Structure formats: C-alpha cells, structure tokens
Structure 1
Amino acid sequence: MNIANKLTLFRIIILPFFMVFALAKFKYSAIIAVLIFLVASLTDLFDGYIARKINQTTKWGKLMDPLADKLLISTALISLVEAGSVPAWAAIIIIGREFAVTGLRSLAAVENIVISANNAGKIKMVAQIVAITALLLKIPFASIALYIAVIITVLSGYNYFRHYSFVINEIGGKKDEM
C-alpha cells in the first residue's frame, strides 16, 4: 500500500476517535475533536496530491478517497446532530447530496465514465470543514457557516447532476443484460 492510500486509510481509522471526543463533555474534548478533524481533513488534501505527484494513483485510492471524505463529513455531522449543534435537516441535506453524487458516479462508472471532483466540489468540502470546525468550537458565526455550507453543497450537487445528466438519461433507458 502506497503512502497516499495509507493517508486515506488513516483518515478512516481516526474517525471513531474523532467521534468520541466530539461527543465527550470534558474540558478540552472539543479542541481535541477539532484537531483530529483537521488532521483528517489535511490527509484529504495530501493523499491525492501525493498520489499524482509520485505517479502512484490506484483503483483502491480512487474508490476509497471519496468514501473516506464522505465518512469524515457524515461522522462529524451525525456527531453534531447528536450533540444538538446541527439541525437534522441540514445533516440530511449534506449527507443526502453525498449519497446522490456517489450514486451518479457509480452509474457513470458502469459506462466507463469517470466523474472527477470539480472546483465546486472542492469549495463545498472547504465550506463543510469550516462549518464543522466552527460548530465544534461553538464559534458565534457557526450557524451562518453551516447554512452557507448547506447552500454550497446543494449548488455543487446540482452542478454535478446538470453536467452529467446525460449519464442518467443514457443508463435510464437501457435494459439489464442477463
């Protein structure tokens, strides 16, 4: 397993530790949760960069990196809903968008079409990281950051579906070949 894939795997492995600290109530638990969350977020930044830089992209990495991202954001949002810091509707919109885009990517993969992350998806991820960090630290603008993240999440999802609607139209009309 190369270094990029190890970073992706590390991001997944530290999620339970993040959740424990995100839900704990002792003095520095929120700060520890934020540190774990930011380390996990940074691994997302570096794993793809390293894989491309040293020419070690793998099928495993292409599959697991987006999954690790979704697990990171979903774990954080569910923890924050449990803690009463995020309304469930906001978490459902964000997590639902992640499932929808993953479904679109799966449909595209059936036709050997690769849907890569675009700038809107990257901006969405940054907005979500900022909002989750602010919510964990109970910063005054945290709710506004969350609403901005929800709006950007919806817009980026719409962008994917608008741009790749041909995938749905093409596959939607095909019969299964058995």
Structure 2
Amino acid sequence: MVRYLPNLLSLARLVVAPVTIWLILDGRLVTAFWMFSAAALTDAIDGILARWLQARTALGSYLDPIADKSLLVGTYLALTWTAELPVWLVVLVVARDIGLVLGVVVLHFAGRGTRSLTPSMISKLNTVMQIALVVLVMAAPGLDVDASGVIAVLVWIVAGTTTLSAVGYLRETVRRFFTPAGVHA
C-alpha cells in the first residue's frame, strides 16, 4: 500500500485541480490559495516518496504530469478568466505545454525517443516561477497587501522563463528527431 502513496497523492492533486479552479471562478482566491498550496506540496512530496520508496510506476509517469498540468494550466486559465492574469501570458504558458506534448508525440511516432523530454534547469525554474506567480496572485487579497508591482515583475519573469523553456524543449525535440534511430546523442 505504501508503494502506491505517490500515485495516490497525484490522484488527489488531480481531484483538487477542478475544485481550485471553481474557487477562483467563484471569487474565493484565499481559499483557492490554500487548496493550490496543498496540491503543490503534494507534488513535491510524491516525487520525494517515489524516489525514497523506489515506487516509480508507469501509472505515476502519466498521472503526475497530468495532475501537474491540470492544476497549473487550469489555475492560469481561471485567473485569466477573472482578469487576475493577462491573456497573453496564459496563451504563452498553454502554447508551451501544447508544444511540449506535440513534440513528445512526434518523437514517439517517429521512433526517436522516450515518452517524455527531460526537464532542463530553466524548465524547473519556469515551474517554480509559475507557481510563485499563482500563489502571490491568490494570497495578496487575503494578506490585504498591494502586490501589483511584484506581480507585474513576476508576470514578465514567467514570460521569459516560459519562452526559454519552450526554446529548450524545441531544440531537444529537433535534436532527437534528426538523430538516427539507435544513436544516442
């Protein structure tokens, strides 16, 4: 049973995603902040547990990124719908994720790689910055602080890291696509 704990945490995050989105759309940003924060914490914990328990599974390799993307992209869409984030930013974030999925699909069907691309340091930083932006946007009303200046800076940081991450994944996809099958570059 303990072996399946990382997958159960990913599943919980997948369940929490629509609740968080609903809370944002209902104007309850502070409650959404707590839900999102708890879900983000489970993401860190399930990764640690999967390594510590040596419990990496095929199901987890799909469930974890699906839960992550559902939570983060759904939250970005909801915060854009409520005018908390600019439309152009969510378009950039979603386009990067769609491009990433398409790249993996192309590589898979071309027989040029695994089912995923390894996240680079800039992609990991991008995820951290995306989460930080969401947390700040949702927490500021509850803290009764004007965080508009910091939020504006974070919007541009997220735009930059998202763009750099997309370029990195595109380069990796092109490199793998043009590397002959069976050759490890």
Give the TM-score of the pair, scaled to structure 2. Answer: 0.83
After superposition, give the CA deviation of every residue in 1:84-104 in whole Å (9 maximum; x if it has no partner): 111211101101101111222
Counterpart of 1:137 in structure 2: which amino acid?
Answer: A
Structure 2 alignment gaps of length 5 or more: 141-146, 181-185
The root-mean-square deviation of aligned C-alpha atoms, in Å, is 1.9
Structure 2 residue aligned with 1:175: none
2:163 aligned with 1:154: yes
1:135 and 1:143 in contact (8 A); partners too: no
Structure 1 alignment gaps of length 5 or more: 172-178
CA distance in 2, matches of 1:7, 1:106: 26
1:81 and 1:87 in contact (8 A); partners too: yes
Structure 1 residue aligned with 2:90: 91
Structure 1 residue aligned with 2:54: 55
- Report the Cα offset of residue 116 of structure 1: 2.3
Counterpart of 1:13 in structure 2: which amino acid?
Answer: V
1:73-92 maps to which residues of 2 (within 5 A)? 73-92=72-91
2:131 aligned with 1:129: yes
2:75 and 2:134 in contact (8 A); partners too: yes
Q: Quick one: percent identity of the two aligned structures? A: 23
The aligned length equals: 168
1:107 and 1:167 in contact (8 A); partners too: no
Using the TM superposition, name which of 40-49 and 110-119 deviates more: 110-119
Structure 1 residue aligned with 2:14: 12
CA distance in 2, matches of 1:108, 1:44: 27
2:18 and 2:71 in contact (8 A); partners too: no
1:8 and 1:68 in contact (8 A); partners too: yes
After superposition, give the CA deviation of every residue in 1:106-146 in whole Å (9 maximum; x if it has no partner): 33344342422232221111000011112223422112212
1:90 and 1:150 in contact (8 A); partners too: yes
2:176 aligned with 1:167: yes
Give the TM-score of the pair, scaled to structure 1. Answer: 0.86
1:21 and 1:33 in contact (8 A); partners too: yes
